[in-house]
Structure 1
Amino acid sequence: MKNLPFFSRPRLILFVFFCSFVTAGVSAVPFAEKPPENESVQKLFARTLHLEPEVQGKPLPTNDWWTTLLANDGFPGRLYAYPFTVSANAQGVQIWYPLEWNQNGTEMDAGEPLVIEPIDPTPDSDPVEQILFDFEKDWASIGWTLEGNAFGDVPMTHGQHGSRGIVGKRYAASFYGQDGGLGKATSPEFVIEKDYLHFKVGGGSEKEILGVHLLIDSQSVYQEVGKKSNDLEWRTWDLRRYRGKKAKVQLVDESKGGWGFISADHFVFSKLSTTPKSGPFSHASTLNWGDWHVSMRLHLSKSKKADVTF
């Protein structure tokens, strides 16, 4: 994982291709005054474009791939810059280098991406959101203590269990012993300094023997469980009554039956009750494009952004 510092208008050139080609004469072609009336074309033209002011009004490519790039909500889909594929999400720029075909032979197996994350050299002294735990390192490095065999030596990866909705590459899950694994994972102690704690949860739903707990004075004051799903969903605890108190997060798995595991990821302190971003960037917009390049702008705030060209 590599870090990308912020500047007022940074520009990262990921790939440059030098190409030579010969153009052929093209005869005059009649153009329609308006697009066809069929549903798929109208749906394409109805999308909201996410363009920077300096390119608004510029003639746009209108095939589905290009329009999806220019109008996709939040962040673009995966783009090809052969032999690489490139995308972005709230965490940063993602680069894949496919080496072989999938088992069906229908497309290249992308594997895990290289993620280029930003570092803000001038962070806010009192940010709206603050990551508490994200499970991207081994348990010892993040200061958690383990009991039993359910949580393994390191947090789990997507490839080990196939869970969706995780943030980053790893998350906490008591599935190392599959449904029969038992144990607890307890965080280091922290002080509650913001009004809300947001996090993601998946797994089984039996509150008597599974759960994500908030412990204050060794007592559980909040608990969340999954919905019998591998996929993780956002949950929120209102901490206003506990401001200033010391607390711990504890994951508990005492179940040996079906859906006998608990998963959690990305604990974020926040001043707001609304679901937090999954990373530093809020969205991407299109800065420029041409026959051989695309530039997108990743937004951190009104004054901080990163420009990426590939």
Structure 2
Amino acid sequence: MSACILVTGAQGQVGHALMGQAPEHLQVTGLASTELDIRDPLAVEQCIARLQPRLIINAAAYTAVDKAESDAAQAYAVNAEGVANLARSAARHGAGVLHISTDYVFAGDSPQPYREDAPTAPINVYGASKLAGEQLLRELCPQSLILRTSWVFGSHGNNFVKTMLRLARERDELSVVDDQLGCPTSANSIAAALWSLSASYLAQGSLPWGIYHFSGQPACSWHAFALEIFRQAQACGLLQKAPQVHPIATQQYPTPARRPQCSVLDRNRSQKLLKLDAPNWHIELTNCLKQIQQQTDHGT
């Protein structure tokens, strides 16, 4: 029997992309958060003892950045304690772990792209909970690889691309923040990177464990991202007409959670050691809009 790979959070944005790309020759078990609640240590232990996976890809996460400010206990329960539960059971049963983290572990006050060893200093609860999860995973399961990514978008789940398309149909004018910089990254490209790492692990029995950065390129502002979304959506017929998009400063758009001003990730280490090339998010966006169009055509 081929090696089992367990994907947690299989109905989330990245989890859905992972299951859509799951290699046919592998025995992949995808469990949604309703099927495996990683907050429950007993459920996690029983699941891993039963499946005996060689590798666990953890795509389960609490990602509601603003809600986390008033719901810190739940954010930590999933992003920290839940990760610790997976890490303990993985170590007990000899499984490797691939885990997704975020650019929000950084303060966002550096003009230089963040390297993996840059000091972390999250400025919101979500980022702090994800950092706690990283630390617990590394401490409890040395056979773990953390892939930090940023500004995730896709055809499934809630994200900036889908929000912009919805607002474009409702309004003629929009204001979008222009002084926060980051790297849009598609769920599909993250899934492809994780499957590439899985193949290496299954072939070699190990990986260069640790923390790595993986994101789309080039860096841009939310405003520039929105403009490109509307340009492409109009070109492919998803939008009849693009709204006027006004650039605004962060302080003109207050949110419960503070966002990093500049959270561009340095990807050199993952390119050298993991052979993961940074995808061009313009191309990834084109593919994402095609998927959204297909869903619209099929009424899903």
TM-score range, shorter chain: under 0.3
Q: TM-score, normalised by structure 2?
A: 0.21
Higher strand proportion: 1
Structure label with greater radius of gyration: 1
Q: TM-score, normalised by structure 1?
A: 0.20
